[in-house]
Amino acid sequence: MGRSVVPPPGAGLELLPGRPPLDLGQPPPFRSGSAEATAALSRQGRYQHVRDNLQVKEVRIADDERFVICYNPEQAERDAALREVMVGKLTTMITGTDSLSVTKRAELRGRISTMPGLHRFLRTTPGGLLRIDKKKIATETNLDGKYLLRCSDPHLSAEDIALGYKQLLQVERGWRDMKTTLELRPVYHRLEDRIRAHVILCWLALLLVRIVETTTGDTWNRVREDLQELHVGTFEGPAGTFRQRTELTTSQRDILTKLGIDPPKKIIELGPPATP
């Protein structure tokens, strides 16, 4: 987790008259086609490496406006893969439609218009034929993995702005996990002390998840999937009964080492042979 970024009280909290203070949480999206996004994207400059999956570049649109373009290479790969899937589906839907009647093509175009993910890559020719919008694909490719942040504080660095926004996302994710993954709600308790205990336990579980993620540098889902492959088997024979864990994989050993946890003993328990 990056270091905390907390702007000093009252420092640069007004970007422009009528705008909310510190617009860090609501960046104008590139794909919105807004004037700010277009102007920011047209500015030249080099990206500064912040983290393994985060690069930033500050651009100036006006003297009283600060914008930071953030680029995530991993997200760029996911964007490209998702677009490939959507374009493939759209291609399948419109293949052979040139032979359809005008009415049938209009009906298909109407159905596609209810699918925003596909519709934005659809182009209709002057003659009413359905085509893949290759210009739109090229434009979107240039936006893969990028998002735009706006900040009013003149003292924060571009790196701090990006990390501050990332921390906001982590806070939102934490509350979402509390209400979904950890099942904070609904609360099946009636007494106040039991409700309080339920909330505290959910908070402690979330804290544990975040400690594991920040310590291992991996997501909780991946860590859990790796550790869930660790099992204990019970074996019986003439000499007795014993319980033994499975062999640790390389990833499991790495996780336990990073967390400072000693690997469990290979032989968990020994017992005498079962009596007939």
DSSP string for residues in 91-153 = HHHHTTGGGS-HHHHHHHHHHHHT-HHHHTTEEE-TTS-EEE-HHHHHHHHTTTTEEEEEE--
Instruction: Let me know whether 208 and 100 are in one domain.
Output: no
**Residue 232 in tokens:** 């204990």
Answer whether residue 17 is part of any domain: no
| Confidence category of residue 88, pLDDT binned at 50, 70, 90 | very high
Q: Look at residue 2 in the predicted model and tell me its pLDDT.
A: 39
What does the mean pLDDT of the chain come to? 78
Indicate whether 18 pLDDT > 50.
no
Instruction: Let me know whether 29 and 165 are in one domain.
Output: yes
Instruction: Let me know whether 222 and 258 are in one domain.
Output: no
Answer whether residue 9 is part of any domain: no
Rounded distance, CA 209 to CA 29, Å? 30
Indicate whether 146 pLDDT > 70.
yes
Q: Look at residue 276 in the predicted model and tell me its pLDDT.
A: 62
Instruction: Let me know whether 60 and 149 are in one domain.
Output: yes
Instruction: Let me know whether 68 and 149 are in one domain.
Output: yes
Answer whether residue 107 is part of any domain: yes
Which residues, listed in sequence order, are joined to residue 49 by a DSSP beta bridge? 55
pLDDT digits (tens, 9 = 90+) for 191-235: 778 778 877 877 788 788 888 888 998 888 889 889 999 998 888
Q: What is the pTM of this model?
A: 0.53
Rounded distance, CA 275 to CA 250, Å? 39
Instruction: Let me know whether 85 and 129 are in one domain.
Output: yes
**Percent of the chain whose predicted confidence (pLDDT) is above 70:** 77
Instruction: Let me know whether 152 and 27 are in one domain.
Output: yes
Instruction: Let me know whether 189 and 214 are in one domain.
Output: yes
Indicate whether 9 pLDDT > 50.
no
Instruction: Let me know whether 222 and 180 are in one domain.
Output: yes
Indicate whether 181 pLDDT > 80.
no
Domain count, the chain: 4
Number of Cβ within a 10 Å radius of residue 51: 13
DSSP count for the chain of H helices, then E strands: 9, 9
Instruction: Let me know whether 160 and 186 are in one domain.
Output: no
Q: Which residue from 57, 53, 31 is spatially nearest to 137, judged by alpha carbons?
A: 31
Q: What phi and psi, each to the nearest 5 degrees, are found at residue 144?
A: -55, 130
Q: Which residues contact 24 (CB under 8 A, 6 or more apart)?
A: 149, 150, 151, 161, 164, 165, 168
Instruction: Let me know whether 68 and 27 are in one domain.
Output: yes
Task: Tell how strand 146-151 and strand 65-71 pair up.
Answer: antiparallel
Answer whether residue 68 is part of any domain: yes
Indicate whether 13 pLDDT > 60.
no
Indicate whether 98 pLDDT > 80.
yes
Per-residue 3-state assignment (H helix, E strand, C coil) for 158-217: HHHHHHHHHHHHHHHHHHHHHHCCCCCCCCCCCCHHHHHHHHHHHHHHHHHHHHHHHHHC
Answer whether residue 10 is part of any domain: no
Q: Name which residue leads in pLDDT, 114 or 59.
A: 114
Q: Look at residue 185 in the predicted model and tell me its pLDDT.
A: 57
Instruction: Let me know whether 83 and 196 are in one domain.
Output: no
| Confidence category of residue 20, pLDDT binned at 50, 70, 90 | very low
CA distances from 124 to 92, 94, 106, 110 (A): 16, 11, 10, 12
Q: Look at residue 187 in the predicted model and tell me its pLDDT.
A: 58
The residue range of the domain holding 245 is 232-269
Indicate whether 112 pLDDT > 90.
yes
